[in-house]
Copies of this chain bind each other. A is one copy, B any other.
Amino acid sequence: MYKELNNDLIKEYIDETPQVRSLLLDEDESIDRLEVSEIGDGNLNFVYIIKSPRKSLILKQAVPYLRCVGAEYPLSRVRMVFEIEALKIEKEICPQFVPQIYYSSHEMSLVVMQNLDKHKILRGEMINRVLFPKLSEHISTFLADTLFYTTDLFLSSKEKKESVKKFINIELCKITEDFIFTHPYEENETNEYNPRLDMSVVKSFRENRDIKVAVAKMRYKFMSEAQALLHGDLHSGSIMLNQEETFVIDPEFAFYGPIGFDVGIYLANLAMSYLSLEDNEQEYKDYVIGMIKDTWDLFAQKFKANMLNHEKKIKSLQFDYPEGMEHYEYFADSFIRDIFDDSIGFMACEMFRRTVGLAKVADIAGIEDLDRRAQVEKRVLQIASKLITSKYQDIDEVINEII
């Protein structure tokens, strides 16, 4: 039976849950040796660090409401089922980029996992101007592998459809549909603005035909294209890392959606980090631009390699003729070309909504000089407006819009 935990109840719960207790304590050790502290700063869940003399781990529990608003905004705990099941699949595909899961309970809506105490959140680290030379290599692999190995390009038709069914994630998709694809493009009471933001810029994109049509199409894609099991919320707050290791966390938004969504959300967060930098920070600027370029290029390379390697292995009858592999490669290029277009479209949507919607990015919202912040925000909106209404040949052309 479900019970909402707190610092005290956690100890009781662990005492009654041998699979967790045994990770932390010897049998004869008292539960009083545990230290529990709540560290969740997310919008949705409670996150506890539990320390014993020999080990520490994380317990994350969903409560039946939206944490950042409170009990009056109900949100079903079933989101934890999606998080648990997505973590398991991602862990299988990319063990090196997903925290160890020690225990999970659908009934209690909780998961017990590796405490990433040697790692920090990417967003904060970028705000602190830390360089991570391995990040783009890591994240491009995470994207190329989790996204490829959950598509119809790899799974059997039956496996894929069963997975789509399992990950029909109604409530959390609705949050994205509303807060990324709807409210930012209308006069909605949930939107929040920097008081110094030039509202004529906001009005002009909100009433621009080509932007509105393009956003409506991206929204429709998000709602109807069941391509791959997405992370669903892959911004720089969902990544914990250090110089050696990178972990992707918090996949409660997981569902079958368009591949470009995960890629685009991540690229948008890099772009906004870049735009938040001061003129004199050239080194970090170059580094962030390099991340945008490398993430896309490496992702595209690796996704294509996944496609070709798989095809070589299964040797499908359809491409079993002398030029067959060459033709399959054309298909791969064309497929990745479509992901590229989608990614840039979703990237733009994330840039709009992080500027005029409810949820901001600390990289920009943390700029204390509101006039400078407003200048950055205006630039974000202008670039997003350009990205969503244009076609680009490659990531370099996109980068040219940003720099």
**CB of A206 within 8 Å of the partner chain:** yes
- Which of the four size classes fits the interface of chain A? 35 or more
B152-A212 in contact (CB<8A)? no
B174-A157 in contact (CB<8A)? yes
Question: Given A185-B318, A213-B330, is A173 in contact with B152 using a C-beta cutoff of 8 Å?
Answer: no
**CB of A334 within 8 Å of the partner chain:** yes
Return chain B residues, CB-CB under 8 Å to A168.
Answer: 161-162, 164-165
Return chain B residues, CB-CB under 8 Å to A327.
Answer: 207, 209, 212-213
- Residues in chain A within 8 A of chain B (CB atoms): 151-153, 157-158, 160-162, 164-165, 168, 170, 173-174, 177, 182, 185-188, 206-207, 209, 212-213, 216-217, 220, 223-227, 316-324, 326-328, 330-331, 334-335
A318-B213 in contact (CB<8A)? no
Number of copies: 2
Question: Given A182-B318, A226-B226, is A209 in contact with B164 using a C-beta cutoff of 8 Å?
Answer: no
A225-B223 in contact (CB<8A)? no
B157-A318 in contact (CB<8A)? no
Return chain B residues, CB-CB under 8 Å to A223.
Answer: 152, 157, 160
| Complex Cα gap A322–B203 (Å) | 12
Q: Max chain B CB contacts within 10 Å: which of A209, A326, A330?
A: A209
B226-A186 in contact (CB<8A)? no
CB closest residue in chain B, given A174: B157
| Complex Cα gap A236–B12 (Å) | 67
Known: A152-B220, A186-B316, A217-B334. 11 other contacts (CB 8 A): A157-B170, A162-B168, A165-B165, A182-B318, A188-B317, A212-B318, A212-B327, A213-B331, A216-B328, A216-B331, A220-B335
A320 to chain B, nearest CB (A): 7
